[in-house]
Amino acid sequence: MRLARENTSWGYVRIVGELRKLGINVSATLVRSVLAEAGIPPAPQRDRTSWRTFLRQHGDSMLACDFLTVDTVWLRRLHVLVFLTIGSRRVEYVACTSNPDTAWMLQQARNLLVDLDDRDRPVRSLIHDRDSKFSAAFDAVFSGEGVRIVRTPVRAPNANAHVERWVGSVRRECLDRLLILGRRQLEYVLRIYVQHYNGRRPHRALGLEPPDPTPAVLAARGDPPAPLTTLRRRDLLGGPIHEYQLAARPSFHTPRPFVGSRATSLQERDTQRKLEVVVRLRVLWIGAYRSRHRNRDQGRHLLLRLPRAQQERTRSRLRHEPEPALRRLHTRDPPMGSLHLPMSASS
């Protein structure tokens, strides 16, 4: 049965020949009876390639694309174009616009081909539906690069099930939980979600592994958790998406370094000294700045309490000798009868 399943074009006689090479002598009738009881059809019927088998065999070099629509809070509709690799489930390119005309579609096709060429990702086929947005000019851009265009049948979403599954995932996990205001916000949300989808989100078709695992995921793969670890959560897009990773638990017995502690090396000691000098200079500068403005404001209020003639003399002294004049101004207490506040002094 294993030979029949793994080699769909082998007939009963060919299977008998392979078994004789292994030292097993059986007849073709016995092989036919055993395969019939197991529900395995003959070679002509087993050799028919289904659509699922075809996608599994050529998924690494096949792209699938589709559109999804997002309505903003201002009742505007935005169109999102997504390209996905069937074999790895990796989202290769995402773009959104409010007017997906032919010029915009051609530009996105060129951008995708440039990105794939930079990453050395060969593409042989592109699957999309029969939407009018996928024009003949759009298909011609890919045909010029040797990519075969495969159009799905009418009203057959299962023929492009991988992209349809991604559309459902992005709606349930992200878009249905956020209020989209415009195109720029939607581009930011999709960029964060695609990074999470490609680098951190597990997939059942890939053995619960992400399509493009990050270095942190690769480092933690297969290693048992350390005894002193804690689970750290990272919120994306304000909380709808959570990412978890293991982090070392902080030790409360290890003293934390602070400014003024004894450094263990000459470089750390020099760094601490420079930091202390900078902190002291900044404290002195802030104190001098505040005292200067405070003395200036107090001198201005005391100056207004003097008569007009004394105000002019004090102003002239402040221009030539500011510090002695301010000290004399603070120590002097004019009599109550000499208080005079002319209108011009306040101005």
Give Rg (Cα) of the chain: 39
Where is average pLDDT lowest: 231-235, 238-242, 251-255, 292-296?
A: 251-255
**Secondary structure (3-state) at 315:** helix
Dihedral of CA 18/22/27/33: which sign?
A: negative
For residue 140, the tally of other CB atoms under 10 A from its CB is 12
CA 242 vs. chain centroid, Å, equals 12
Where is average pLDDT lowest: 28-37, 78-87, 141-150, 244-253?
A: 244-253
Across the chain, mean pLDDT equals 76
**Separation between Cα atoms, residue 15 and residue 309, nearest integer Å:** 124
280 confidence band (pLDDT: 50, 70, 90) = low
Burial bucket for residue 40 (CB in 10 Å: 0-12, 13-18, 19+) = middle
Which CATH number applies to 58-206? 3.30.420.10
More confident call, 314 vs 184? 184
User: Which range among 46-55, 201-210, 262-271 has the greatest average pLDDT?
Assistant: 201-210
Stretch 261-278: mean pLDDT, rounded?
59
pLDDT the model gives residue 252: 43
For residue 186, the tally of other CB atoms under 10 A from its CB is 20
For the chain, which residues make up each domain, given as ranges? 2-48, 58-206, 292-332
Stretch 284-300: mean pLDDT, rounded?
59
Dihedral of CA 103/104/107/112: which sign?
A: negative
Stretch 107-114: mean pLDDT, rounded?
94
Residue 115 has pLDDT above 50, yes or no: yes
Q: Are 246 and 220 in contact (CB under 8 A)?
A: yes
**Separation between Cα atoms, residue 327 and residue 6, nearest integer Å:** 103
**Separation between Cα atoms, residue 92 and residue 84, nearest integer Å:** 5
157 confidence band (pLDDT: 50, 70, 90) = confident
**Secondary structure (3-state) at 223:** coil
Q: Which residues are within 8 A (CB) of 139 and not within 5 positions of it... i.e. 6 or more apart?
A: 149
pLDDT the model gives residue 208: 84
Give, in degrees to the nearest 5, the angle at Cα 165 between 104 and 49.
Answer: 100
User: Which range among 66-80, 274-288, 301-315 has the greatest average pLDDT?
Assistant: 66-80
Indicate the residue type of 75: L
More confident call, 199 vs 38? 199
Partners of 230 in beta bridges: 247
pLDDT the model gives residue 49: 64
User: Which range among 24-38, 143-157, 201-215, 294-308 has the greatest average pLDDT?
Assistant: 143-157
pLDDT digits over 316-332, tens only?
Answer: 665 655 555 445 544 44
Stretch 69-77: mean pLDDT, rounded?
93
**Percent of the chain at pLDDT above 90?**
32
Give, in degrees to the nearest 5, the angle at Cα 338 between 334 and 340.
Answer: 115
Residue 46 has pLDDT above 80, yes or no: no
Stretch 253-262: mean pLDDT, rounded?
43
Q: Which of 173, 137, 165, 158 is nearest to 68 (CA)?
A: 165
Q: Please report which residue ranges of the chain form alpha helices under DSSP H.
A: 2-6, 12-21, 28-37, 43-46, 51-58, 102-118, 136-143, 161-173, 183-199, 215-220, 266-304, 308-320, 322-331, 343-346
More confident call, 234 vs 107? 107
pLDDT the model gives residue 264: 45
Stretch 259-278: mean pLDDT, rounded?
57
Indicate the residue type of 298: Q
Q: Which residues are within 8 A (CB) of 240 and not within 5 positions of it... i.e. 6 or more apart?
A: 173, 174, 177, 178
Q: Which of 151, 146, 88 is nearest to 117 (CA)?
A: 146
pLDDT the model gives residue 135: 93
Instruction: For the chain, count helices (H), then strands (E).
Output: 14, 7
pLDDT digits over 200-212, tens only?
Answer: 888 887 888 888 8
pLDDT the model gives residue 111: 94
pLDDT digits over 165-176, tens only?
Answer: 999 999 999 999
Stretch 101-122: mean pLDDT, rounded?
92
| b/e sequence 110-129, b meaning 16+ C-beta within 10 Å | eebbeebeeeeeebebbbbb
Give, in degrees to the nearest 5, the angle at Cα 186 between 183 and 188.
Answer: 115
